[in-house]
Amino acid sequence: MPWLNRTALGWRHVRPKDLTNLQDFLYSHEIFTNNLTSRLFGKHFQGLDRAWSLFLLEAESGIMGVLGIHKHGFAGIHVSRNSTPTGYDPMTTEDLSELNKVGASAFGRIRTLMGARPIVEQLLGILPKPFDHRVDYSMLYHPLDTKVLLEPIEGLICRSSSIYDEERLLPLQLRYEKEEVVLPGHPINPEGTRRFLLHSLSHQIAVHGEYKGRMVTKAMTNARGKLVDQIGGVYTEPEYRGQGMARTIMLELLSRIETEGKAASLFVKLSNSPALRLYANLGFLPVGGFSIVYFS
């Protein structure tokens, strides 16, 4: 079913009987919805969590949009009129009006909002408060079985990362967060970073590269889906950049993701030209804009 009937029935709360259709919609668009699928339908999924306020945009022939808002402030949205994995579509004026009526009571909880850029921009227009900071990215997709030539680097040893590597990985993670994650005017929280790293090493696929006994590069997944794993935390020490080490560690991570029969996605800042060149060289395809918006 490449195209849904455009006759929308409006936004409404998700009901238990919607679960199968909800999963089908989110999984079919997992390039953009991974942050929702990994949170909603994780490893120990036993049903819809009451911590979520979930809304769906219904059409005569199926679901065409989902908004999820967690009680702790995370929110993700996606709207698409077709089943193409890379597809997304803006809402109509009527869609937005309906969403405002149904979801307004939950909007005030939003602290972090993620989604395809045009849809996020529309949602910002009906939220009750202004945002503090917004970061725009390019969403990239690495289809399963993409062939890329591996060019080994003499002396670079790639390994799986585990919780036992936390102490050596923490300095790289802190520097990565300083460069790519921490918002202007906000300090790094080393203890929070350590806890996040330990959690990631326990639940994500993580790899690192050692050169002459020093840990110099790393990469990991940050959201594990059913069909697509999302990559994040890619970092190489500045003095080792431009030598192919990031490319090598990325290929190591991609091979492990593909072993599980999954494709990969990631989003990268529009201003990060070296990263955009690297990922294009690795076979990643640009599929659209992505935004993360932060609220106080």
Q: Dump pLDDT digits (tens) for 139-196.
A: 999 999 888 888 889 999 999 999 999 999 999 999 999 999 998 888 999 999 999 9
Determine how β-strand 74-79 pairs with β-strand 112-116. Answer: parallel
Q: Among the CATH numbers 3.40.630, 3.55.50, 3.40.50, 3.40.190, which is that of 8-129?
A: 3.40.630
Sheet holding 156-160, edge to edge: 8-13, 52-59, 62-70, 74-79, 112-116, 285-294, 133-142, 263-269, 228-236, 214-224, 206-211, 156-160
Task: Examine the pLDDT at 4 and tell me if it is beyond 60.
Answer: no
Distance CA 124, CA 167 (A): 40
CATH superfamily entry for domain 156-288: Gcn5-related N-acetyltransferase (GNAT) (3.40.630.30)
Same fold, 8-129 and 156-288: yes
Instruction: Indicate the pLDDT class of residue 8, thresholds 50, 70 and 90.
Output: low
Domain residue spans of the chain:
8-129, 156-288
Q: Residues 192-210: pLDDT tens digits?
A: 999 999 999 999 999 999 9
User: Residue 85 has what pLDDT?
Assistant: 84
Cα distance between residue 107 and residue 125, in whole Å: 12
| Cα radius of gyration (the chain) | 20
- Residue 44 has a pLDDT of 64
Judge contact between 137 and 289, C-beta under 8 A: yes
